[in-house]
Structure 1
């Protein structure tokens, strides 16, 4: 048993730290098209947006923990909304960073994923995503949220363990493209809701109350982060 573990651990480390061959350009372009199809049509977006909500609420939760707040729970709802609850001072840098992390998390995760793929770290990307989803599952506080995270994490786990290198590469590129492109749309949706007089308790409005900076400027920040991440990440994925 000891010799088996001694052999398995180095093999596991080699898989995580090693690099994998980049897929053909047609695979990169095909996964780009698939991501666009998952984001642009409204009927498809109503379902696929759940994955962006996972990243959005996970961003709130992660930054809350890093900034010293106590994360008490995360809820994901069937209408693709979510709620992350943390305890701590209702003001200050920690609260501001936590509130700002939601809309910026999906595109920044996509940008980080693009950097890993550009470096050939496909396996590391898949395993890191699985680990983050498992950690998030511990903090989920409703059945729909738990089901969503389990299905998503299970998909990553199955691809990581059972799929061949080409399938893993295609899946990883599709996920990163989806985060980059899907990270752009929510800020525009929020802008449209605010124009109609809705979303009065949005992240941008909470940040405006916390910082006395107009919500429109925070919305501009969300747009800037998502669009810059898409441009930068897209260049990495296309090896430009």
Structure 2
């Protein structure tokens, strides 16, 4: 079986290969399917809340903790000035974080850095675990980190490359769906305190503008990351 995967992986070095496209289609199906999305959205929530946490720290705020819930929602609590650029950037960072992580993963995969991508992911999850403040959140991060660690430690390079390819595609597509979901929730009056609404209250910029900007970032990351994944250069 590994020889088959090794053969497939070698095709990743061919410009415009069909394998990378096929893996992208699988990732899209995982994101589009209600059944798989309900489970895998936890990974997206981890990335989303991690984005809030990182920018909160970089902007000088105090990170009080992160909670992940079984309905795939999350909450990152930080203290500091309630207005100003630090708060704005912290609120803004969640949705783009998923797409930008996917973009970074696509770059690493295209640069033959699959193993490095796996170890970076394990490191980020380990650091995030220190900030988790509820049992379900601990379980989610530990399980996700366990899977990534198992691939990095036990899988062959061929399987590592294939898994990282799938993971990158998943984050690129998974960064877009939550923005579309939030737009539908807001249209139904079911998300009055969303990141977009909080940003609107802080800045005076309408929530629709923030949603549009997040969608543009997600689509831009998908186009750039997809190009890297589909056009991996010959080495």
TM-score above 0.5, yes or no:
yes
2:109 is aligned to 117
1:12 is aligned to none
1:112 is displaced (CA, Å) by 1.2
Secondary structure at 1:191 match in 2: helix
Q: Per-residue CA shift, 1:195-235, capped at 9, x if unaligned?
A: 11120100000110111111110111111011111111100
Given the alignment of the two structures, is residue 153 of structure 1 paired with residue 145 of structure 2, yes or no?
A: yes
2:83 is aligned to 91
1:219 is aligned to 211
2:44 is aligned to 52
- Are the counterparts in 2 of residues 27 and 170 from structure 1 also a CA contact under 8 Å? no
Q: TM-score w.r.t. structure 2 length? A: 0.90
Alignment of 1:1-240 (within 5 A): 23=12, 25-239=17-231
1:21 is displaced (CA, Å) by 7.0
Q: Which runs of 5+ in 1 are unaligned?
A: 1-19
- Are the counterparts in 1 of residues 49 and 66 from structure 2 also a CA contact under 8 Å? yes
- Are the counterparts in 2 of residues 113 and 176 from structure 1 also a CA contact under 8 Å? yes
Q: Aligned pair in 2 of structure 1 residues 162, 218: CA closer, same or farther (>3 Å)?
A: same
1:34 is displaced (CA, Å) by 2.1
Question: 2: CA distance between counterparts of 1:156 and 1:30?
Answer: 22
Q: Aligned pair in 2 of structure 1 residues 148, 106: CA closer, same or farther (>3 Å)?
A: same
Q: Which runs of 5+ in 2 are unaligned?
A: 1-8
Question: 1: CA distance between counterparts of 2:33 and 2:147?
Answer: 23
1:31 is displaced (CA, Å) by 2.1
1:26 is displaced (CA, Å) by 4.4
- Are the counterparts in 1 of residues 11 and 19 from structure 2 also a CA contact under 8 Å? no
Equivalent pairs, count: 221
Q: TM-score w.r.t. structure 1 length? A: 0.89
Ranked by relative contact order (alpha carbons within 8 Å, sequence separation 6 or more), the top structure is: 2
Instruction: Give the RMSD, CA atoms, in angstroms.
Output: 1.5
2:5 is aligned to none
Question: 2: CA distance between counterparts of 1:156 and 1:31?
Answer: 18
Question: 2: CA distance between counterparts of 1:40 and 1:80?
Answer: 16
- Are the counterparts in 1 of residues 65 and 77 from structure 2 also a CA contact under 8 Å? yes
